[in-house]
A and B are shown apart, each in its own frame.
Chain A
């Protein structure tokens, strides 16, 4: 499988995650969101940007709780909940947002 981003063809796995994480650029998220028929708002981008920052430092996606806390700090306490994150990313913030942000899929009993 692959997606077309800025005229380039990027390989993805069966579930649509980037095969080569270093190929990520912001348009990757936009294209993936279009496939899911989702329009990315500034708040979606806050999540994506935080995921990328965290991944840069720790080589793993943050725990859902770490993510909700960070988003609560940035967007206001009422938005620092997994309920709000599910509103933004209906297929699950840990998975759908990680995919858009070019992170590997969290595996395990999650």
Chain B
């Protein structure tokens, strides 16, 4: 799968980090960093992260072939 985060929307709420720490984390300046093409085994968690983002900055889409 493909993970996209709109950094213009992201306010570092951290809900995605809570929901899917394998994919999302913060750097030392509280900026969000994330895997762009995590394993499909993490799909449930990625979708959970997208659903919990208060500013709807996270998009989960099928992997680009």
Please say whether chains A and B are actual partners in one complex: no
Residues of A whose CB lies within 8 Å of any CB of B are: none
Residues of B whose CB lies within 8 Å of any CB of A are: none
